[in-house]
Amino acid sequence: LGGPDSLAAVEGFLYNLFSDPDIFKLPLGFLTQKPFARLISRRRAPEASVGYAALGGKSPLLENTRKQAQALQQALGADAYDVIICMRYWHPLTDAVVAGMKAQGYERVILLPLYPHYSRTTTGSSYNAFMRECQRQHYQPRVSLIRQWYDNEAYQQAIVDDIRPSAQALPDADPAHIELLFSAHGLPQKIVDAGDPYEQHIRATYEALRAEIARSHPGFS
């Protein structure tokens, strides 16, 4: 997704977000999308800036993603793969990343979105943006997409493994007195009705986690 790297970048980040036709489909979008994005981003920037100020004046996403990229690079082996970060709505943006990859002559690209669950508004938008830039820049690598990984056992186990130490840090660590609340981003109903699988993926993740927690952490409700 990306995030602003300063408070001054908040409005520009929001403008890029609201300009995305995979999230906001407007009538006559080629005429109305950018004015709409400009208006909404100006109105929302002051409120959003308060939140980013509480985080230290910027989004932590890029720094965290760099750590993930370094860990993945080490796991894959430096001689086998190059791990490159690409953000959807703030730097490093897709156009610059594609230009750099083209200049380096990469012939094969594996896209690994950091969204475990597929939605056209997240993974779909990121994939579309990458392919549009490849076409615009006359760059034709062989592209593979890891579409979703919510059902990956290691991903689900990592969530489960984080529950016990978090529970033990509570004043009352008795599982019988603890309730787990699962939350996720929502989607407009019209996107779900159009066949977006995100809600199904979230529900499947919840059911898998619930079953594993019941098996490995008896007592949690």
pLDDT in tens, 132-161: 999 999 999 999 999 999 999 999 999 999
Looking at residue 133, its pLDDT comes to: 97
pLDDT tens for residues 47-86? 999 999 999 999 999 999 999 999 999 999 878 899 999 9
What is the rounded distance in angstroms from the CA atom of residue 221 to the CA atom of residue 211? 11
pLDDT tens for residues 173-195? 888 888 889 999 999 999 999 99
Find where tokens 């407007």 sit.
26
Cα 9 versus chain centre, distance: 19
What is the rounded distance in angstroms from the CA atom of residue 63 to the CA atom of residue 74? 17
Is the pLDDT at 221 greater than 60, yes or no? Answer: no
Looking at residue 180, its pLDDT comes to: 86
Looking at residue 187, its pLDDT comes to: 92
Average the pLDDT over each of 22-31, 101-110, 116-125 and give the range with the smallest value. 22-31
Is the pLDDT at 13 greater than 90, yes or no? Answer: yes
Looking at residue 104, its pLDDT comes to: 97
Q: Which CA distances in Å does 212 have to 3, 17, 157, 167? A: 33, 36, 8, 16
Looking at residue 27, its pLDDT comes to: 77
Closest CA to 93 of 8, 17, 185: 17
Q: How does DSSP classify residue 144?
A: E
Q: Which CA distances in Å does 54 have to 51, 62, 183? A: 5, 17, 22
Is the pLDDT at 215 greater than 90, yes or no? Answer: no
Higher pLDDT, 27 or 111: 111
Backbone phi and psi for residue 145, each to the nearest 5 degrees, phi listed first: -115, 125
pLDDT tens for residues 103-121? 999 999 999 999 999 999 9
